Chains A and B, each alone.
Chain A
Amino acid sequence: MNCEQVKTELPDFLAGSLNPPAQARVQDHLDACPDCSELAGLWDKLGAIPDELPSPRLRANFHEMLARETAAPKRAPAWIWQAVAAAVIAVMGFAAGRSIPREQSTELRDIRDMLALSLLQQQSASDRLKGISYTYQANKDDAQIRDALLEALNTDSSVDVRLAAVDALRRMSAQQGISDSLERPQSPLVQIALIDAVVELNETKSVAVLQKLQAASDVDELVKQRARQALGQLRSKGTL
């Protein structure tokens, strides 16, 4: 059985609706093929997302994403769109029977990105942390993922999720967004993580913000100390 055949059979395989010999053939292939087994894993995770009521924002994001996908038609196997439809239904509790256009372009990465983006909108902080961990597999220059992480950094109700977002944005080298976020009121621990990040990314544009921070009256004393130290570090890196 080759990868293409397995991909065609995968939805039925995961639903357990293949006959036993076919089920075993797909399983044998998954055991041997890391690509297909990763794909199968993603499918499983999509199914595992709790079916909470979607927020209006989540719905808007999905419509946007679908619109973008439909605007760039390329050939892709129909099963992928079945996957997207399944994801939409699984994640958002959308009514079944929506007409999803076929023959559209999307790839394994897009499904994973979509999974990350939808997890970032969940009620549960643990789910949002999981969404952030999935972004580590996205392209470092993926603007949509970066924007979602920036939104988490600047608006998430959980400090722990915001801290995880700083680490993920660091990997994506999102200097600008990290630097901008330093200008907002933030929990001191997040401010320190942001300062660490601008030093590591050598973001010289942050100098003005760091100077403001170290002089501000309403900023935590440890954050001010770290800002002062960071100015010294940027200076010694020869960037000032």
Chain B
Amino acid sequence: MSRIFALLCLAASLQGETITAAFSDPSRPGILKLRQSNGSITVRGYSGKDVLIEANPNNKHGKSITRTQEDGNRLTITLDPNSSATIQVPFQTALQLQSSNGSIRVEKVQGEIDVQSSNGSIDVRGAASAVVAHSTNGSINVAFDKVDARRPMSFSSMNGKIDVIFPADLKANLKVQHQRGSLHCDFDLNTNAPGPEIQFKSYNGGVNIRRAQQK
């Protein structure tokens, strides 16, 4: 299988920097991978084809080194461990984001979102496919515009609160396991209804599953 290394770019500057990276096949949805230690990450969907990365240096040298590597429509971004970044991606991009201490925010991205944080909060707005989210100590807030009716999802947290808003016409099989926190759900639980299975697991935080207000 031939591997394509379409892009390898390296850049550094003393100020905040903007870097443009491209997917090797923009006609198919790409995958964006990012693992960050301390900075906050915002990823926003937009109508362009490229990925625009704005990294704000946050360390004492005021220096940020951003690297991107593309392989088979999968773009891996490496940031300075302490810098925050705002990244714009094509709407259909799938995201795989991990952060240790920073918060993660995703807006208007319609591909599948796989997001994890140890100590930061997770905030997803305008999701339109499947979301798989875990935070050990941070809260998880997710709002869906629509849901892909075939894809399972899962939301889990040890100490954070999980709050998810689904479209009013959601057809899914919701399963909740919670130990200590409260539970509120606008939908029927554990119905074994046809549709994807959506799991919620919380140990210490509460679970809040809400129906979106009709527009």
Contacts and interface: CB of A to CB of B under 8 A. Distances in A.
Interface of A: 48, 53-54, 123-127, 129-130, 133, 157-161, 163-164, 187-189, 192-193, 220, 222
Contact of A188 (B114, B116, B158): B158
- DSSP class of B's interface residues: helix, strand, loop or mixed? strand
Nearest to A223: B158
B199 interface: yes
B152 A133 contact: yes
A124 B31 CA distance: 10
- DSSP class of A's interface residues: helix, strand, loop or mixed? helix
A160 B199 contact: yes
B108 interface: no
Contact of A189 (B94, B197, B203): B203
Contact of A158 (B1, B134, B136, B204): B134
19 contacts: A53-B1, A53-B72, A54-B1, A123-B74, A124-B130, A125-B96, A125-B132, A126-B114, A126-B151, A126-B152, A129-B154, A130-B151, A160-B155, A161-B132, A163-B156, A163-B199, A164-B199, A188-B136, A192-B158
Contacts of B92: none
Nearest to A55: B1
Nearest to A124: B112
Identify the 4 closest CB pairs spanning chains A and B, nearest first.
Answer: A160-B154, A159-B134, A125-B132, A126-B130
B136 A187 contact: yes
Contacts of B136: 187-189
A74 B33 CA distance: 45
A189 B153 contact: no
A126 B134 contact: no
Nearest to B204: A222
Nearest to B94: A124
A169 to B, nearest CB: 15
Interface string B109-147: 000101010000000000000101110100000000000
B31, B98, B116 interface centre (most CB from chain A within 10 Å):
B116
A163 B154 contact: yes
Contacts of A127: 151
A158 B201 CA distance: 14
B1, B136, B155 interface centre (most CB from chain A within 10 Å):
B1
A187 B135 CA distance: 10
A58 B104 CA distance: 31
A163 B201 contact: yes
A129 B198 CA distance: 10
A189 B157 contact: yes
Contacts of B155: 160
